[in-house]
Amino acid sequence: MRVVENVIFHHSLDRMRGGLTSQVALLQRFPMFLKFTVTHQSSESPARCGRMETEHGTIETPVFMPVGTVGTVKALDSQELEALGVTIILGNTYHLMMRPGPDVLLHLGGLHKFMTWPKSILTDSGGYQIFSLAKLRKLKEEGVEFQSHLDGTTHFLTPEKALEIQQILGSDIWMVLDECTPYPATPEQTRTSMELTLRWAQRSVKTYQKMQPKASLFGIVQGGMYEDLRHECATRLREMGEGVFQGWALGGLSVQEPNETTFRMIEVASPLLPREAPHYLMGMGLPADIVEAVERGMDMFDCVIPTRNARNGQLFTSRGTIQIRHAQYTQDSKPIDENCTCMTCKNYSRAYLRHLYLAKEILSARLNTIHNISYYLGLMKALQQAIREDRFQKFKRDFYEAQNQSDS
C-alpha cells in the first residue's frame, strides 16, 4: 500500500484557488498546531487511515472520542481512560462555561490540569446546545442567549466568546460556533440557518487570527438534509477558511433523520473538503453508523451512546447488543463478550453485571462503561487494520454478519 503523507500547512497546488503568494505569507505568520498525515488509503472506497499530532500526543485515525462534556467521561477517571487506550476526548464549551465557569478553569490552569488528563482534548463550541436546549435559548445575529439549565441565569455566547472560552480551557482542537439545524426543516429555514453559521464562521476566522492560540480550529459544514445546501456550505466554508481551518466537521446530522439521508449528506460534503485535513462527523453514533461513515471518508467521531447506554444496561458486543437486565442472564457465567479482553470481561460474569444493574450499584455503571468504551476503541483498531490491509469491504461484510448473530 502506497503511503500518502500530507501536512496541513503544505497544501498541494491543486487545492489553491489563486493568490498563492498571499496564502503562503498567511501560513508563514500563522502557525498550525495540528499535523495530519494520511497513511493508508483504501482502494475500494474513500476509507483511510491517518495520524494526527497535537501538543498532547499522537492520535491514530479513524478515531472515536469519548464524550467528557463537563470534564469527565461519566463513570471513569482519567487514568482508566488512558489505560483503555483513549488518546482524545471531547469537552463542551457551553457546559463548562456554566459550571465550573471560565474563571475557575483559568485559575486552575485549564481543562487538562483540572481533570488530570495528559492526552488531547477537542472542545465543542456550544453549537449543539442551540439545538438541544432550544426551549432555553434565544438566537440572535450576534450570538445566542441561554437561560442556564442549572439556575436560570442568563448567559450570552458569541462566536468570539466561544473561542475565548476554549482558549481558557486549553483544548487542542477548537470548534467554531454554529447553529445545528433541526430536522425536519424547510429549504428556506435551512438556508437561513446555514447563512448564520457561515457568518459566525467568518467572525471566528477573524477572531482566531487576532488571538495567540496554541490550538487548531475546525470549521463546521451545515446545510441540513439538502444536497445543494451542503455542497454550497462546504464550498464557501473552504474558501473562507483555507489556511486557517486545520480540520473540517460535518454538523447537523444524527438529529433523527433517516440513516440513508445522513450517509448521503456525507457523500455530498466530504469530497469537497481538503483531503489533507481530518474530517470529523459530529455526534455519530452507533457502531454500524461509524463503519458506514468511515467507508465514506470520515476520520473522527464522538457520541454519548457507549457511555449513556452502558449506564442504561445496553452493552455492545462483537455479536450485537445485549440488555444486561434481561432475566436470561440471571445465571449466565459468561463474560459480556468472549472476544473482548477488557477488564470487565476478564473478571466479571453477565450474571454479576445483571445483579449490579438491578441493585442500582454504582459499580454497574463503571464496569459497563469500561466495556463499552473498550468495544468502541476495538472497533476503531479493527477498522484501521482493515484499511491498512486494503480489505475494508470484507471487514464490513464480516462485521454485519457477526452483528446479526444471536448471542444469548
- Residue 404: predicted pLDDT: 87
What's the N-to-C CA distance of the chain in angstroms?
40
Q: What is the extent of the structural domain holding 398?
A: 310-403
Quickly state the pLDDT bin for 281 (edges 50, 70, 90). Answer: very high
291 and 319 inside one domain: no
Task: Please indicate, yes or no, whether residues 200 and 168 belong to a single structural domain of this protein.
Answer: yes
CB distance 38 to 387 below 8 Å: no
Assess whether 342 and 264 both reside in one domain: no
| pTM recorded for the entire structure | 0.92
Cα separations in angstroms, 76 against 71, 153, 184, 236, 302: 11, 30, 36, 40, 17
Q: Which of 279, 303, 327 is the last residue of a domain?
A: 303
Q: Are residues 324 and 288 in the same domain?
A: no
Number of domains observed in the structure of the chain: 2
Half-sphere exposure of 102 (CA within 13 A, CB side): 15
> Over the stretch 79-125, which tens digit does the pLDDT of each residue have?
999 999 999 999 999 999 999 999 999 999 999 999 999 999 999 99
| β partners of residue 63 | 300
Please give the Cα distance from 364 to 372 (Å, whole number). 12
89 and 56 Cβ atoms separated by less than 8 Å = no
Reference 180, options 122, 241, 129; nearest CA is 129
The 279-281 sheet, strands edge to edge: 63-66, 300-303, 279-281, 245-250, 216-221, 173-175, 120-124, 88-92
* Statement to judge: residues 246 and 333 lie in one domain: no
Name residues whose C-beta falls within 8 Å of residue 399's C-beta, 6 or more positions apart in sequence: 287, 288, 291
The residues pairing with 58 across neighbouring beta strands, listed in sequence order, are: 53
Q: If you average pLDDT over residues 25-50, what whole number do you get?
A: 82
Alpha helix (H) ranges present in 141-258? Answer: 159-169, 187-210, 227-241
Active-site residue, from 299, 302, 332, 337: 302
Among the candidates 288, 303, 318, a domain finishes at: 303
> How confident is the model over 16-39, as a mean pLDDT?
57
**Per-residue model confidence (pLDDT) at position 16:** 31
pLDDT at 19: 36
Is 94 among the domain residues?
Answer: yes
| Residue 302 designated active-site | yes
Rounded Cα distance, 305 and 207, in Å: 33
Q: Are residues 253 and 280 in the same domain?
A: yes
Please report whether residue 5 resides in a domain: no
Q: Which of 124, 289, 299, 337 is catalytic?
A: 124
Residue 399 falls inside a structural domain = yes
CA of residue 403 relative to chain centroid, distance: 24
In a domain, 3, yes or no: no
Q: State the average pLDDT over residues 263-283.
A: 97
In a domain, 348, yes or no: yes
pLDDT in tens, 222-263: 999 999 999 999 999 999 999 999 999 999 999 999 999 999
Residue finishing a domain among 303, 326, 342? 303
Long-range residue pairs from 23-32, CB within 8 A, at least 24 positions apart, any chain: 23/242, 23/243, 26/243, 26/244, 27/243, 30/209, 30/243, 30/244, 32/8, 32/216, 32/246
pLDDT > 90 in the chain, percent? 90
Q: What local confidence, expressed as pLDDT, does residue 43 receive?
A: 98
**Which of 211, 210, 139, 150 lies closest to 178, judged by CA?**
139
Percentage above 70 pLDDT, the chain: 92
Instruction: State whether 260 and 133 are in the same domain.
Output: yes
Q: Is the peptide bond before 274 cis (omega within 30 degrees of 0)?
A: no
State the CATH number of the domain containing residue 150.
3.20.20.105
pLDDT value at position 382? 98
- pLDDT the model gives residue 249: 98
Same domain, 323 and 231: no
* Structure confidence at residue 27 (pLDDT): 38
Q: How far apart are CA 180 and CA 224, in angstroms?
A: 8
Pair 176, 262 in one domain: yes
Q: pLDDT at residue 350 above 60?
A: yes
What letter would DSSP give residue 121? E
Burial (Cβ within 10 Å: 0-12, 13-18, ≥19) of residue 134: exposed
Does 408 map to a domain?
no
Residue 341 and residue 405: Cα distance in Å, rounded? 20
Supply angle C-alpha 146, 149, 155, rounded to 5: 30
**Domain identity same for 263 and 361:** no
Label residue 117 left, alpha or beta by phi (over 0 means left) and psi (-120 to 50 means alpha): beta
Q: Pick the residue with more confidence: 103 or 19?
A: 103
Average pLDDT over residues 343-364: 98
Q: Would residue 27 count as lying in a domain? A: yes
Residue-level pLDDT at 252: 97
Confidence band, pLDDT 50/70/90 cuts, at residue 407:
low
Task: From residue 321, give the alpha-carbon distance in Å to each of 18, 32, 290, 292, 369.
Answer: 51, 41, 16, 18, 14
pLDDT digits (tens, 9 = 90+) for 166-224: 999 999 999 999 999 999 999 999 999 999 999 999 999 999 999 999 999 999 999 99
Q: pLDDT of 211-232, one tens digit each?
A: 999 999 999 999 999 999 999 9
Tell me, yes or no, whether 111 and 219 share the same domain: yes
Is 100 domain-assigned?
yes
124 catalytic? Reply is yes
* Same structural domain, 253 and 385: no
